[in-house]
Structure 1
Amino acid sequence: MKFPNLSIDELIKFHLVFDTLDIEKSYDDIFEAIENEILAKYQEFRFGFDSDTKKALMKFAKNDRKKYSINRYLPHYKATRIVNELLESGFLELELSREQKPTPKHKHEKLPKRLRRYVIHDKVNFSSHFTRFWFRFIEPNLALLELGKSDILLDIIKDDFDNYLSLGFEMLSQEVLAKKFNLNLEDVYSFWTKELEMDILTKFDDKFIVGEVKYKGRKVCKSVLNLINARCEKLGIEPDIITIFSRSGYSKELRNVKDKNLLLFGLDDFKILVE
């Protein structure tokens, strides 16, 4: 794909839709590219899954991606089979939870029933951004394309596009952090429990790095830093480095925070991924 005149912001958008597609034409506008290369050619991208598998993929493309979340929409045995097949084929990838299951503090302690039944939820990722885009926007709305109403679908995509991009931006932020600190990408991950989520958590050389990622059209305020500190306190973590990634910059108050352990990343930092 050709990107002669695109800003890093636009490059990110194109990558998070067209990562696995080989497109010859050059575009300056992401929605024009989506209209011409996906909506107009949708019949070229049909996936040969059965209806239940498509339903599962559409749910994963839209929800929190927890492995067992589709049990609410499909019988347990069927959901398990579908997820296992998608993982084995490489269409989906497993993102393991780093949460520790509650355990007794001493040999004779009996945990409360709610803790004995506590389930740790792994998540799934699509193996490509394009397939996630497809099952979030295209597959649920094929009827619109078949009726020639691609303009309506394009409006649907535009209305939800930033929400869609936020996960991919988080994944790219983890790549940036790994490169900046010369870490293996698999050592930089998100952390979640039933109660909270941390976009970035890594430990190396006995140091904790934590972080938050914001793909918003407005500047990030100091309240995000306060939120990170509150989550760390709840997790019992004393971070050595706090990172924040923002698409749209930072408030003056946050930029003026005097803390050498606070690192603020902007779009220019993502250029390291294309150098």
Structure 2
Amino acid sequence: MPSFKKYRVGSKFKLAAIDSADTTFIEGHEDTQRERLDALAVELDELQNLLHAEGRRKLLLVLQGMDTSGKDGTIRWVFSRTSPLGVRVTAFKVPSEEERAHDYLWRCHAAVPRNGEIMVWNRSHYEDVLVPVVEGWIDKAEIRRRYAQINDFERLLAETGTVIVKCMLHISKEVQRERLQARIDEPDKRWKFKLGDLDARKKWDDYQRAYEQALAATSSAHAPWHVVPADSKRHRNLMIAQLLVKTLREMKLKAPAVDSALDGLVVQ
């Protein structure tokens, strides 16, 4: 398995230093890649079963990225063999009136995983240090406060048994253009397209800077960020699947001890 070290965000992180077209985690011919992804999906299901059986810890996968970076596709493929009973997905949209009446972390804390569960966040609390920053709705002092609050929030989760995996799906501006155009040109994809996507695209460089600053400020030992080159959908899926399997393996999950009273028991 290739090393994830290169893609883990550190203090001297520069987003531009990571090639969105990188395909390090793709090995072999196309059939082999499909087989590898399926094998990882099966192992992920087995590990999730152990996580559920152990019942003490949980895993949170945070997916962030520009429009068309593949958050939905990642969930569809990486968890293709996982029991839906053990995985929940929350997609964070524009805050509702009820959500805006609370602090910005309120809706996220309400969606953290339960013991034995994998929770996937399609977008997350990081929207609150991206959109408001690009749009100029909050000043530098508030940005720093939010970074600190997010770090504290994630530390709380980690210290109460949640293993956090954060992935920024990194695509190029040209690949985004191609994917947006495909949504317009292909009738069965047109429902995915929103004119607002073009407004955000006009501020591409601003969003890249906001991502770089947010990732550098909130990548910690207890909740590290990984930048996932995502121009290739298959590379994106393989890398995240391998990262999740590696993370769950390192948790050394164990099913509870079997009651000795069951030895030799025959069900009539």
Shorter-normalised TM range: under 0.3
Q: TM-score, length-normalised on structure 2?
A: 0.24
Higher relative contact order (CA 8 A, sep 6+): 2
Find the structure with the greater CA-based Rg.
1
Q: TM-score, length-normalised on structure 1?
A: 0.24
